[in-house]
Chain A
Amino acid sequence: MVGRAAPLPFPLLQEGASMEDEKLVISSLIVEAHPEAVPAVTEALAALEGVEVHEVNGYKIVVTIEAPSTGASHEVSSRMVAIPGVLNVNLVYVNFEDETLG
């Protein structure tokens, strides 16, 4: 059973902001799942706001998170940990230049 995650406690997209001036943290992760749970986990991951599934390599699912801050990104990754069938969530790359350069 894959449940939809509860709404995030803060908006992922800032209302009224255009794509150009929107602050964005982009990260990529490898989510590892029980092999039999991979289809359901993939679906649940794709349903998370700001998450895109890019490829599935065996039990490893390659995803990106686009969120307005590292905290919001981390929150999304924490939700991944809680999806039934997920064994690990590995962070590969995170870019937060909008956050640190201001």
Chain B
Amino acid sequence: MELTRRAFVKSTAVALASAAAAGTMAGYSSLAGTGADSAALAGDTVKTVGVCRFCGCGCGVIVEAKDGKVISVTGDPENGSSRGLNCVKGYYLARALYGEDRLTKPLIRDDASTKGTPDGLREATWEEALDLVAGKLRDTWKADKSRLAFWGSGQQPIVEGYCTAKFWKAGLLSNNIDPNARLCMASAVVGFMNVFQTDEPAGCYADIDETDVFVTWGANMAEAHPMLYSRLTARKLADGNVRHYDVTTMTTRTSASADKVITFRPGSDIAIANAIANYLIVNDKYDHDFVADHVQFKQGTENLGNATDDGYDKSDIGQAVDNVEPIDFDAFAARLAPYTLEYAAEISGVPAEDIQELAEVFADKGRKVLSLWTMGVNQHNRGTWMNHCIYNIHLLTGRYARPGDGAFSLTGQPTACGTAREVGTFSHRLPADLVVKNPDHRRYTEAIWDLPNGYLDAIETPGFHTVKMFRELSKGNIDFLWSAHNNWAVSMPNLTRFLGKGDLAGINDAFICVAEVYPTLSCQYADVVLPATMWVEREGAFGNGERRTAVFEKAVDAPGEAKWDLWMLMEIAKRVLAGEQIGGEDAFDHLFGAWYDADAAAFKGTDREVCASIWEEYRTFSNPSLNPDAEAINAEAKLKMEAKQLAPYEEYIHNHGLTWPVREVDGKWLPTLWRFCDGKQEDGFDEHGVETYGAHDKAGGVSFYKSADQRPSVVFRPYEPPAEEPSEEYPFWFSTGRLLEHWHTGSMTRRVPELARALPEALLDVNPADCERLGVTDGDRVRLTSRFGTCDITVSTAGRTRPPEGMVFAPFFAEETLINLVVQDTYCPLSKEPDFKKTCVSIEKIEG
């Protein structure tokens, strides 16, 4: 770098960080553009607004490009979620675009027997690849549409997910579409729906700045949500009275800020939560007014057994898992009564006095308490139940939907909320929380998609959820699979089964299309690989964990022949739907003609115009007044669709993201930070919602107007043991997860050549006492075996996590280790989310 340029860049760097540290970070452009000759030094660069590509925090970034390449990224101070900070994964934001092995041409596999190897793919034209994919999809669709599937992602931008769902549900009349969010958020989703009848957190990230006590449940925020953990530690440092309880199965970097680490036996968190609820009731330390005003009590089907076998969903118990019945408070208290502190201590291994101390934290109404949780709660054989149990404690103590006083489920992917959940790319969903099995929801969707009345009745039965989809694939019951924005050959549990180690026929006979940016392991099983644009190579939007929708603008062109996923979808949909009609009109034009010109094979307008056009249609779901038919159905069926109101597209550009519901007040679109909490809309409260649907002057100043009878459900959920527990044959618990350095399967963060040398491989964190017993030491190779499969891995006692004796941990990013060969595919019977945290394994030293 030339010296004067270097001095300029460095002074910019220092000025920005200094301003961010002082909390006075001004607009980046003003800092970068001061001084007489700064324009010349800054060069001919273009700055665009973006959102980080990686986790669910949704941090804003300003992207600077020159000569068609991204040359810098800066934390965006105007993004309300991150306020100018990023974590160190930000180093890879642009570098991930420029990996040497970036896919730039369509690839076709002519010989299916080469699947599972790095070989066998040849370059092809787009025409050949699209014709092949569309032909296979159409043939499958015409022959038996139960044998086709799409596996999407919480990384698929909002309008792309919307169009995929529309094509699959309305175009193909298929529900065999599910996202990888099933692997991380599904238990939170079912928890939200069961308790509140709306899939959303009431709180927001600003709760972190206002609370007095943090309780992290099964959450390693320091590794998985670094920006939010930074806010947690900032809050603790700002006020010495703030406390943090880390409720976990092992010590992690998140434990560093904890005043007390409560280490429980895997799976026993429900016993602890129930003991807290019981303690609050028995000692009359619950919030009587809040309970009287806001809560209804229920119990549900119990003794669920485990969803390990293929037949579980269709078994008698499998079909009864969602059933609940109302009970009164006394009956609820009676169900909890067995959960004494001593009983919970016996199950969990946590001393009774520690559970009591945590219960007293919730009892103390003089202080605000914020529960935060992630995959330890969700990836759980009773994940939905544990979500319930956390809400039970918060609802009993009047700690929900109030600033700093709440329960907040953290999300893992950049748009798990915005796309998978809000758009609804699940096998049972339609857009905007609507579900396929509800006739009113189908009518409403038909109105917005301009479909004949009853058209969507064909999809009233949900399709394959994720685990089911891959089980069916491995059994040879899927003929066509399209995957995008994910890397299932690394991230799915029980890969021993799904990668065809037992029976190759399923994966070899199915036609698999993988849209990708790099040659991931999933590409080795693809018949066609479609090279995709990545991140800011096109415009898109993400919806993060606090209901914030944010647009990332296009900054640079994609390399080579890589294409926007949305273009691939349109071109394949056009071919598959050729000759089909909807309501007497060409089916493709009817569904997608507003933004795509089929004859020209091109979008009608710029990326911005296309995204805005799709957004405006999608936004109609939450703004029924834009469509008279939808408005009538909404009123008649009392759907309250406008309660999740989204703003016009341009508002998101101007504001660098907005949290929904976004309300139009005097011509301005105002976001909502604290949902269901009464107060001024200008200050971020849900004034409009409470005024329109709810009631003022209720206990706690909140009104749960989306819930049935305006009362969230406190549902008794008993402790039931993990699917398997350590035995003589498999004596260790094995938990998997994420570490700071690498995001998900590393398909983006592991592209930098020097990483191979500089950054750690996936290590197995083992307790030193267990190492001694096993006769292994740091750096030794061991074989990990479960009843599902085997992998080899290197032992470490110096890793980021410190598991207790009898438990081991490894991250899942490394395809060369492929720990998911070992992990069980048992899932929560309600959410169908797999339990990645409690596989039982044996550990054997590999000699030599």
Contacts and interface: CB of A to CB of B under 8 A. Distances in A.
A101 B87 contact: no
A54 B18 CA distance: 8
A4 interface: no
A100 B10 contact: no
Interface string B515-559: 000000000000000000000000000000000000000000000
Contact of B90 (A10, A32, A94): A94
A57 B94 CA distance: 29
A27 B98 contact: no
A42 interface: no
A64 B10 contact: yes
Contact of A77 (B64, B91, B233, B234): B91
Given A93-B73, A97-B72, A70 B256 contact: no
A28 B73 CA distance: 11
Interface residues on B, range: 35 or more
A93 B72 contact: yes
A30 B20 contact: yes
Most interface-central of A10, A69, A94 (chain B CB within 10 A): A94
B637 interface: no
B227 A90 contact: yes
B752 A78 contact: no
A57 B234 CA distance: 13
A14 interface: no
B66 interface: yes
A91 interface: yes
Contacts of B575: none
A10 B758 CA distance: 8
Contacts of A1: none
A40 B19 CA distance: 23
A75 B758 contact: yes
B87 A91 contact: yes
B14 A100 contact: no
B71 interface: yes
Interface residues of A, number: 50
Nearest to B227: A90
Nearest to A82: B800
Contacts of A101: 66-67, 69, 71
Interface string A66-84: 1001111111011001000
A24 interface: yes
B3 A92 contact: no
A8 B759 CA distance: 11
Nearest to B17: A28
Interface string B252-285: 0000110000000000000000000000000000
B579 interface: no
Q: Binding site of B, secondary structure by majority: helix, strand, loop or mixed?
A: helix
B92 A74 contact: yes
B755 A94 contact: no
A20 B752 contact: no
Contact of B72 (A9, A59, A94): A94
B755 A30 contact: no
B763 to A, nearest CB: 14
Contacts of B640: none
Most interface-central of A10, A23, A26 (chain B CB within 10 A): A26
Interface in B353-374: none
Interface string A27-39: 1111010110000
B752 A71 contact: yes
B22 interface: yes
B505 interface: no
A60 B230 CA distance: 11
A39 B612 CA distance: 51
A27 B16 CA distance: 10
B227 A62 contact: no
A73 B90 CA distance: 11
B754 interface: yes
Contacts of A34: 237
Interface in A33-55: 34-35, 54-55
A100 B22 CA distance: 31
Most interface-central of A57, A70, A88, A101 (chain B CB within 10 A): A88
Contact of A97 (B16, B22, B71, B753): B71
B94 A96 contact: yes
B88 A78 contact: yes
B229 interface: yes
7 contacts: A26-B9, A32-B234, A32-B237, A81-B740, A92-B85, A96-B94, A100-B69
